[in-house]
Structure 1
Amino acid sequence: MTTRIVVLGAGYSGQMAARLVARAKDVSVTLVNERDRFVERVRLHQLAAGEDLRAHPLAELLAGTGVRLVVDRATAIDPDGKSVVLAGGDRLPYDTLVYALGSRMDLTAVPGVAEHAHTVAVAEEAERLRARLTDGDVVTVVGGGLTGIEAATELAEQRPALKVRLVADGALGGALSEKGRGHLRRVFTRLGIEVRDEARVAEVRADGVVLAGGEHVRSDVVVWTTGFTVPSLAADAGFAVDGHGRMVVDETLRSTSHPDTYGVGDAAAVRMPGGQELRMACATGLPAAQQAVRALLARRDGKDPKPFRFRYVNQCISLGRRDALVQFVDRYDRPKESVLTGRLAARYKETIVRSAYQAQRHPSIPTSL
């Protein structure tokens, strides 16, 4: 008997899950994505800064894999009828669902973001930002996380005529070690990036941002990189979700409320055995996809799946094309004092990014999972 598997989302986690499970016997796999190409999301700050990125058509990536691609947007899930409703009106029946819709930038938390700010969360927005930068002299990047740091340094390096400013509501590099923070400060100084940390943005306007204390910080372009949200399909369909709307899954990545569904990537709340929540990253999404496939196939074959085991190794932050920061961490993602910096770190980061893409073309399941 053929098991019908529908995968929602063709990002890093979804595409890997689809390709891996399609290798099994007696399965039919349908991958649903609203765009016809795979986007290397971790490179979108490069696209915004002016670099031309290679296109990755999904039809080409999936050729010969046995995965059926449906380019459409999922608008609802019917868990009782075990089907997915598409924007085009079709329904896709499933025996097992893999929920991998990812995350998107939260444009509602602060007034004016949706109307006046740009993001680097999706390719179309990064392209619009790229075009907008030709008309501006001052750019304010809001957000001191990894996305904000990478966006600010990339823009400053690739477009030296721009005045680049970063505004963060915490300390710059607050989650890094002392050595990591020191290198970050030196890079920002070298690139001429103005830092306004410990400053919360209360409003975004067409001519800049307004801080919580009322100060207006003028800017021609605002880049918003802080705060993410996830699609509401899981919550709307009655799946167990956390306070952010992410699907709650058990230690095998199976939904805690619907045993025929698995959640992977940013749209799932994945926790390690000790209870720590995995951060949103392809570094966690890829092994989660591998684990979900192993678990669903084990259960299909009447076996007990092993629980997900994961440990952190490092955080890789690009600082333009010629510098980077590799912050080594313990298994719980806490920073060690050791770091790797400079051109060697930049090559390290580029290797990681390329490996994440190659994992889409040649996925595997490590025996350690």
Structure 2
Amino acid sequence: MKQHILILGAGFSGMWSALSAARLLDKNNRSDISVSVLAPQAELRVRPRFYEPEVHTMKAALDELFAAVGVNFIKGSAQTIDTTNKRISYNDNQGQPNHVTYDRLILATGSSVARPALPGVNQFAFDVDQIEQAAKLESHIKALANQPDSAARNTVVVAGGGFTGIETATEMPERLRAALGNDAKIRVVIVDRGQQIGAALGENISPIIAQATSELGVEWRLGTAVTGIDADGVTLSDGQRIEAKTVVWTVGVRASSLTEQIAGERDNHGRLHVDANLKVMGQADIFATGDVAYAATDDQGNYALMTCQHAIALGRSSGNNAAASLLDVAPIPYSQEKYVTCLDLGQWGAVYTEGWDRQVKLVKDEGKQLKTQINTQWIYPPVADRAIALAAADPLIPVVA
């Protein structure tokens, strides 16, 4: 009976785990080990782009790619992890219970926005975390034109001034004008607990964010937070109210709840602590990758962030090392010393930085050109050609050079 590497999740880390495991098996001429991906859809949903319009197009089918490299796809939703019997229970595409066993498990089930227990947040707030939610926001924005003109109709409040909040807010003026017309008196407000614009992204990038949002007409409410949401607006922690028909929640991210079924230490985002080969600490047969892994990127005290950039490299490493553990060949420790950011700032442009201290390298149009390349080319899957796809999954290939 073949040994089995099972990957839960078909996001960036799950897809690259599958390709990387298949690569190492191919390299060692081993056909006695199978690789499977269990996920609700055989598609990569390009989550870093969900702040943009036309969100329904931001996915890439994986059927042909998996078939080209010999990866099995199991359509279903994982429910429970039995680490003793190495068994995953899942609901199949008909909603019926089923199960599958594994010899090595790679948990790549990602993360989701963490909505707090605030009045109205679940009923009235949108988000850009999953494609379905982002599509609801897009439909809502397009439908605003059917409502009577008012300050509330023309106002969007974005809760959170981190990466996602800034990209969402700076895209909003253009999206609102497309829906409401160029003469509409639109208003976009970012509500953030920080005391400085873009504080979460560091002092080097903060002045650029301030300049871009000012020129776009995006307002900031600093040192405060949203404490309640209703159909007509938000209440802030300082007692003020903003009338708004559109509220987008971008605060806080939490690793998949499936991590809670695996014994191990977790960080404050729920990510499992892993060793240098991405094996879960204390587990002999389980690897964690992407947004569910708390992994050191280097020996300088830096850890992978919950981003596409880190998920790609984490996936290549986890797939390779899970396969290596069955082949009895040396693993390749995960390492990702170079860190960059490219923050979209709407019609103003973008800003590109390098290093954990975010040294600014490109701004405005030059930054936007790079961001467009990243969003439309670099983060998409390789073509469904066996040789090309397997070569692209080499864990020693840097995500950013």
Shift of 1:158: 3.0
Code of the aligned partner of 2:315: A
Q: Judging changes above 3 Å, is the alpha-carbon distance between structure 1 residues 111 and 35 closer, same or farther for their aligned structure 2 residues?
A: farther
State the match for 2:87 in structure 1.
83
State the match for 1:164 in structure 2.
188
Greater shift in the superposed pair: 31-40 or 124-133: 31-40
Highest CA radius of gyration, 1 or 2? 2
Could you say what secondary structure the match of 2:190 adopts?
A: strand
Could you say what secondary structure the match of 1:73 adopts?
A: strand
Code of the aligned partner of 2:296: R
1:346 matches 2:346: no
1:116 matches 2:124: yes
Among 302, 305, 323, the residue aligned to 1:297:
323
**Do 1:177 and 1:327's aligned partners in 2 also have CA atoms closer than 8 Å?**
no
Shift of 1:123: 0.5
Shift of 1:184: 1.5
**Do 2:5 and 2:323's aligned partners in 1 also have CA atoms closer than 8 Å?**
no
Shift of 1:93: 0.5
Shift of 1:113: 1.6
1:105 matches 2:113: yes
Q: Judging changes above 3 Å, is the alpha-carbon distance between structure 1 residues 79 and 279 closer, same or farther for their aligned structure 2 residues?
A: same
Q: Judging changes above 3 Å, is the alpha-carbon distance between structure 1 residues 181 and 359 closer, same or farther for their aligned structure 2 residues?
A: farther
Code of the aligned partner of 1:64: A
**Do 1:12 and 1:360's aligned partners in 2 also have CA atoms closer than 8 Å?**
no
Could you say what secondary structure the match of 1:22 adopts?
A: helix
Greater shift in the superposed pair: 203-212 or 114-123: 203-212
State the match for 2:47 in structure 1.
41
Code of the aligned partner of 1:27: I
1:3-25 Cα distance to aligned partner (Å, 9 max, x none): 20110010011011112212312
Among 271, 274, 279, the residue aligned to 1:246:
271
State the superposition RMSD in angstroms: 2.2
The within-5 A match list for 1:274-289 is 274-289=300-315
1:190-224 Cα distance to aligned partner (Å, 9 max, x none): 21111112222222222222211222222111000
Shift of 1:64: 1.8
Greater shift in the superposed pair: 141-150 or 269-278: 269-278
Shift of 1:242: 3.2
Identity of aligned residues (%): 29
**Do 1:180 and 1:339's aligned partners in 2 also have CA atoms closer than 8 Å?**
no
- Separation of aligned partners in 1, 2:256 and 2:379: 24
Could you say what secondary structure the match of 1:125 adopts?
A: helix
1:319 matches 2:345: yes
1:27 matches 2:23: no
State the match for 1:147 in structure 2.
164
The within-5 A match list for 1:154-193 is 154-160=171-177, 161=184, 162-170=186-194, 171-176=196-201, 178=203, 180-193=205-218
Long gaps (5+) in structure 2:
145-152, 178-183
- Separation of aligned partners in 1, 2:160 and 2:379: 25
1:127 matches 2:127: no
Which one scores higher on RCO, CA 8 angstroms, separation ≥ 6? 2
Among 179, 195, 200, the residue aligned to 2:220:
195
Q: Judging changes above 3 Å, is the alpha-carbon distance between structure 1 residues 168 and 15 closer, same or farther for their aligned structure 2 residues?
A: same
**Do 1:290 and 1:365's aligned partners in 2 also have CA atoms closer than 8 Å?**
yes
State the match for 2:75 in structure 1.
71
Shift of 1:240: 3.9
Give the TM-score, by structure 1 length: 0.91
**Do 2:78 and 2:89's aligned partners in 1 also have CA atoms closer than 8 Å?**
yes
- Separation of aligned partners in 2, 1:295 and 1:360: 23
Give the TM-score, by structure 2 length: 0.84
- Separation of aligned partners in 1, 2:327 and 2:63: 30
Q: Judging changes above 3 Å, is the alpha-carbon distance between structure 1 residues 270 and 184 closer, same or farther for their aligned structure 2 residues?
A: same
- Separation of aligned partners in 2, 1:177 and 1:237: 34
